[in-house]
Chains A and B, each alone.
Chain A
């Protein structure tokens, strides 16, 4: 399977604990995105990487959230001191950059998501 993968698929934690999620993008994609989706809503952008550089962060990404993409391949999203309001689906997506390889459309492909429940 060459799609975007995420691990774990489900995480239940107690308030105040730290959690870390992993995303493996499609191998030839240099762009990686994190989104958060709450029940009944569309996904909201959190952050974006081009290769290993984190180029954009949403105001939704409080100082308890940190994301890394150390070698420009997989990425991790860590939430420290979790709160009940952090309960959501965390989605990762990847794409080829605009203009790369000729006719890139910058189409984003999503992984299956990590469902976080904070008790």
Chain B
């Protein structure tokens, strides 16, 4: 049973378009949820962290929302740029745990 699902698996948009990336999770007892960016062959870069008590977090062109009751988080990237091309992963930390549980990621391509 998939604990974290990211849809779509891949996304291609023209430069300037807003990106909407979805993350669904089955466990509502979360401590926090993180969004990461991963470039090919590289490690993970933390983009945003939302605590369970928060509804959203913003950093520059990025905004992430969290709805625990529906088990969903959404990452919005405004005015996409070719440099935003990467794989975006969401992961949650359980309230009583120590490990992050990851989705499979959404691979994004922003065309110039």
Contacts and interface: CB of A to CB of B under 8 A. Distances in A.
B99 interface: yes
A26 B81 CA distance: 31
A45 B101 contact: yes
Contacts of A6: 43
B51 A43 contact: no
A78 to B, nearest CB: 20
A25 interface: no
Interface in A42-84: 42-45, 48, 55-56, 58
Contact size class for A? 20 to 34
Contacts of A111: 43
Given A31-B98, A56-B99, A108-B34, A42 B4 contact: yes
Given A108-B34, A110-B46, A33 B41 contact: no
Nearest to A98: B31
Given A31-B98, A44-B102, A45-B101, A110 B43 contact: yes
Interface string A1-45: 000101000000000000000000000000101010000111111
Nearest to A110: B44
Contact size class for B? 20 to 34
Interface in B63-112: 89, 91, 93, 98-105
B102 A112 contact: no
A45 B32 contact: no
Interface in B11-41: 31-32, 34, 36, 41
B36 A110 contact: yes
Contacts of B101: 45
B102 A42 contact: yes
Which 9 residue pairs are nearest across A and B when measured between Cβ atoms? A42-B102, A45-B99, A110-B44, A112-B43, A113-B43, A110-B43, A107-B49, A48-B98, A42-B104
6 contacts: A4-B43, A6-B43, A43-B44, A107-B49, A108-B93, A113-B43
